[in-house]
């Protein structure tokens, strides 16, 4: 495989318009790369990427099944755990989405730029429960 | 090869986290990116975005109910969404026999409830995956 070493790729016809495969890169500036989506609208790659995700087994010893950008997790008691990020977010104002096994309700109890604490409760009840198969993902801005 | 064109199927880069090579089919950039995400806070009458991407406005439609309008629309209603929120306040989307919450190509309505199934104003955290128009 050959290697191309360079500092800048510039579109020939339009400086900021480059096509990768069948995906037009229509803008590349200010740390933001914008591509054309499935139709004609444009979307930001950086904004659309998931910045952290994980799957946990909360039964017994807390265990990560698989993850991205998670440095460690700590057990906060029944149903509760804190995930610490490898690379922090810009603030606590991100969108954290979570779920788990059927008939459970997962929400966050604390969050900041370096960690988020989730608590899992039994569906229509209020008792905290440990489950195998609790997942979360984070969309937002990295620091 | 025509002037101004470099053709390839896979874009490869050196991994920044594990140090191993990473590659991705370029189609995954479009199909695999979230098209909308936001945290819209109804608590205390704030009715405002904490943070968002591709969301142009949000409306308070009564206790626990919010409707968000996208900047760039989805290509249909065949997209998926995941939700989250604060402890004990479950955020739900989609309609059912007794709940008229629903979504269109340009909007998503969501509702937050307590564990006791009562509507409550809280933080609606949503991420949407699917195809843009």
Give me the interface pTM, i.e. the ipTM: 0.79
Residues in chain A: 143
Average pLDDT of chain A, as a whole number: 86
CB of A37 within 8 Å of a chain B CB? The answer is yes
Average pLDDT of chain B, as a whole number: 81
- Can you say whether the dihedral through the CA atoms of B124, B125, B130, B133 is positive or negative? positive
Q: Looking at A49-53, A104-108, B27-31, which range is the least confident one?
A: B27-31
* B54-58 average pLDDT score: 97
In a domain, B90, yes or no: yes
Q: What is the pLDDT of residue A73?
A: 96
User: Is the pLDDT assigned to residue B26 strictly greater than 70?
Assistant: no
Q: What is the pLDDT of residue B133?
A: 95
Cα torsion A128, A129, A131, A133 to 10°: value is: -20
Cα gap A56→A62, rounded to integer Å: 7
CB of B127 within 8 Å of a chain A CB? The answer is yes
Confidence of residue B15 (pLDDT cuts 50, 70, 90): very low
Structural domain tally of chain B? 1
Q: What is the pLDDT of residue B16?
A: 45
Q: Looking at A117-121, B77-81, B103-107, which range is the least confident one?
A: B77-81
Q: What is the pLDDT of residue A43?
A: 87
* B10-34 average pLDDT score: 62
Q: pTM for the whole thing?
A: 0.81
Is residue B61 packed enough to be buried (19+ CB in 10 Å), middle (13-18) or exposed (0-12)? middle
Residues 18-77 (B) with a CB less than 8 A from some CB of A? 25-27, 29-31, 33-35, 37-39, 50-54, 72-73, 75
Q: What is the pLDDT of residue A79?
A: 93
C-alpha distances out from residue A89 to A57, A128, A140, B5, B43, Å: 24, 28, 7, 36, 23
Q: What is the pLDDT of residue A103?
A: 76
User: Is the pLDDT assigned to residue B13 strictly greater than 60?
Assistant: no
Which of the two residues, B116 and B35, has the higher pLDDT score? Answer: B35
Closest Cα in chain A, distance from residue B73 (Å): 8
In a domain, B15, yes or no: no
Closest Cα in chain A, distance from residue B82 (Å): 6
In a domain, B93, yes or no: yes
DSSP chain A: ------S----SSSTT-EEETTEEEEEEETTEEEEE-SSS-EEEHHHHSEEEEEEEE-SSS-EEEEEESEEEEEE-STTEEEEEESS-BSSS--EEEEE-STTEEEEEEEE-SSEEEEEEEETTS--B---EEEEEEEES-B-
In a domain, B1, yes or no: no
In a domain, B79, yes or no: yes
* B113-130 average pLDDT score: 89
Q: What is the pLDDT of residue B17?
A: 39
Domain extent for B95: 35-129
User: Is the pLDDT assigned to residue A14 strictly greater than 80?
Assistant: no
Q: What is the pLDDT of residue A33?
A: 77
| Closest listed residue to residue A54, CA positions, set A43, A66, A63, A45 | A66
In a domain, B30, yes or no: no
In a domain, B29, yes or no: no
Q: Which residues of B touch A140 (CB under 8 A)?
A: 37, 51
Q: What is the pLDDT of residue A63?
A: 92
3-state secondary structure of B49: strand
């Amino acid at each position: 495989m050959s290697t191309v070493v360079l500092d800048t790729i510039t579109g020939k016809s339009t400086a900021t318009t480059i096509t990768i495969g069948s995906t037009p890169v229509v803008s590349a500036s200010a740390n933001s790369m914008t591509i054309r989506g499935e139709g004609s609208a444009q979307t930001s790659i950086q904004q659309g990427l998931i910045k952290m995700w994980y799957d946990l087994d909360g039964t017994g010893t807390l265990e990560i099944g698989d993850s991205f950008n998670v440095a460690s997790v700590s057990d906060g008691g029944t149903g509760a755990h804190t995930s610490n990020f490898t690379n922090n977010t810009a603030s606590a104002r991100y969108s954290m989405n979570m779920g788990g096994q059927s008939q459970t309700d997962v929400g966050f109890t604390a969050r900041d730029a370096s960690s988020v604490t989730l608590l899992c409760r039994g569906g229509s009840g209020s008792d905290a429960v440990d489950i195998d198969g609790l997942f979360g993902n984070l969309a937002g801005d990295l620091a | 090869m025509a002037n101004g064109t470099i053709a390839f199927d896979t874009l490869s880069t050196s991994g920044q986290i594990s140090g191993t090579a990473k590659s991705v089919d370029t189609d995954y950039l479009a199909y695999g990116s979230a098209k909308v995400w936001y945290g819209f806070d109804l608590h205390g009458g704030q009715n405002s975005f904490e943070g968002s991407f591709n969301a142009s406005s949000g409306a308070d439609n009564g206790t626990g109910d919010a409707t968000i309008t996208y900047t760039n629309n989805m290509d249909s209603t065949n997209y998926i969404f995941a939700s989250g929120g604060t402890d004990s306040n479950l955020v739900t989307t989609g309609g059912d026999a007794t709940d008229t919450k629903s979504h269109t190509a340009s909007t998503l309505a969501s509702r937050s409830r307590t564990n006791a199934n009562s509507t409550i104003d809280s933080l609606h955290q949503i991420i949407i995956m699917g195809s843009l128009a």
